[in-house]
Amino acid sequence: MKKTLVALAALAVAGVASAQSSVTLYGAVDAALSGSTVDGGANRTGMINSGYGSSKLGFMGTEDLGGGLKANFKLEGGLANDNGTGKGANTNNQNTGAAAAVAGGQGLVFGRFSYVGLSGGWGEVRLGRDYISTFLIQVSVDPMNTNGVADALSLLFRGGSSTGQATVANASNMIGYTTPVIAGGLTANAQVWFGENAANGAGAGASDSGNGYAVSARYGNGPIFVGLGTQTTRGTASATTTGDFTSSSLAASYDFGMAKVTYTYSRETVNDAVAVGTQLTNSTNHLGLAVPFGATTVKATYGRSVYNTGVAGIADVTGTMVALGADYALSKRTRLYGTWVRVSNDGPFNIFTTGGLGSVPVGANGATASWQLGVFHSF
């Protein structure tokens, strides 16, 4: 009897504690068979990950501090589950050189989220590594979830690309603030981050290289969504590094019930990207359509980017993306999916390609076509 009372008391205490504090383990595993056909290049077939949604493993928790104040944390790392490794992450927002991105192929790295913060009726503050709010605007309405072979980001500057930008999606050493929901669906966000670059060095740039900021606002109410944001990260233009990177985006969607229509516009600039005194620009328009038929959703997207080197006499390169896809919900957490996409280049050289196993075509006016068939499961 005494042991029973002790056990009941322990359960009661645990119940109180769980009401005040909680920790959640969560994640997703996504793998697909994929193939690509490349003009003038090598055709490939193999396994990829994150074709429908990002493979990841994370921990998040909250503690009720009383008076409406909460302490929050989140640790989330990307997974390359097709080969069992983690995905790398840039540690201090440097655009190139020895202090740049950590390569993939290592163990789990919390490169997606790694922050602690406080929240209340006044909003939320986060300290650590987080997604840049402008990037979240860019990916907020893509019917393909900005993943896999038809990733809309294939038309944008990406981390590890020829421009070497490290802060396309995430930034380290960040302080961010998000307002509470106001005016029936409006929120705003402001972020600053630090490169923590001690001094000039081989590929390291100036002491403020890697410093940056972002501001954004979004409105969601019923079938309507609109988001707008801009970000800038400092860089030092040289023979081996690029200069300041700026990205601005507008995203909108309307859900008619029988179909959802989406639109995203992005404009990016990189100073001294190819020659001293130049500014490389890339402007992208992206349209999407998602039509549900019971457990099946049929999707289509069309994107067009114009890439300008800023150098007199060099013509623009236009990239065009056309994609079709469908996914079938086996349950709320498991989906089968398939996607086909073609990305073409029109100009003196090739810049754009598909996601997955796609590679940049050889020669001028080249194209890459890719497909994927996969399974996504979240937990």
**Can you tell me the distance from the alpha carbon of 136 to that of 216, in angstroms, rounded to the nearest whole number?**
9
More confident position, 277 or 128: 128
Confidence tier at 209 by pLDDT (50, 70, 90): confident
Both structure tokens of 250: 């507008």
Higher pLDDT among residues 203 and 275, named by residue: 275
Q: Which residue has the higher pLDDT, 239 or 237?
A: 237
Mean pLDDT of 312-316: 90
Give the pLDDT score at 105.
74
- Say how far apart CA 178 and CA 197 lie, in whole Å: 27
* Mean pLDDT, all residues of the chain: 88
Looking at residues 317-339, what average pLDDT do you find? 97
The pLDDT tens digits of the residues spanning 66-109 come to 999 999 999 999 999 999 998 877 778 877 654 555 667 778 88
- Could you read off the pLDDT of 25-80 as tens digits, one per residue? 999 999 999 999 999 988 999 999 999 999 999 999 999 999 999 999 999 999 99
| Span of 140-144, 155-159, 306-310 with lowest mean pLDDT | 155-159
Per-residue pLDDT, 167: 81
- Which of 92-106, 124-138, 215-229, 355-369 is the least confident region? 92-106
pLDDT of residue 192: 98
pLDDT at residue 5 in the model: 39
For domain 34-378, is the CATH number 2.40.160.10?
yes
Give the mean model confidence (pLDDT) for residues 215-238: 92
Neighbour tally for 267: CB within 10 Å = 16
pLDDT tens per residue across span 239-283? 556 788 899 999 999 999 999 999 999 999 988 766 777 888 999
Q: Specify the 3-state DSSP secondary structure of 7.
A: helix
> What is the per-residue pLDDT for 16?
43
Q: What is the model's pLDDT at position 357?
A: 93
- Answer with the residue of higher pLDDT: 2 or 39: 39
243-248 contact pairs (CB < 8 A, 24+): 243/270, 243/271, 243/272, 243/273, 244/269, 244/270, 244/271, 245/95, 245/157, 245/163, 245/165, 245/167, 245/269, 245/270, 247/134, 247/135, 247/138, 247/156, 247/157, 247/168, 248/134
Query: What is the C-alpha separation between 239 and 219, in angstroms, rounded?
Result: 42
pLDDT at 271: 84
Q: Tell me what percent of the chain is helix, strand and coil, each rounded to the nearest 5.
A: 10, 50, 40
Residue 302: pLDDT over 80: yes
pLDDT digit string (tens) for 145-158? 999 999 998 898 75
DSSP state of 205: -
**Distance from C-alpha of 266 to C-alpha of 249, rounded to nearest angstrom:** 4
Rounded CA gap, 31 and 375, in Å? 6
Q: Quick one: DSSP state of residue 236? A: -
The pLDDT of residue 6:
41
Distance of CA 246 to the CA centre of its chain: 16
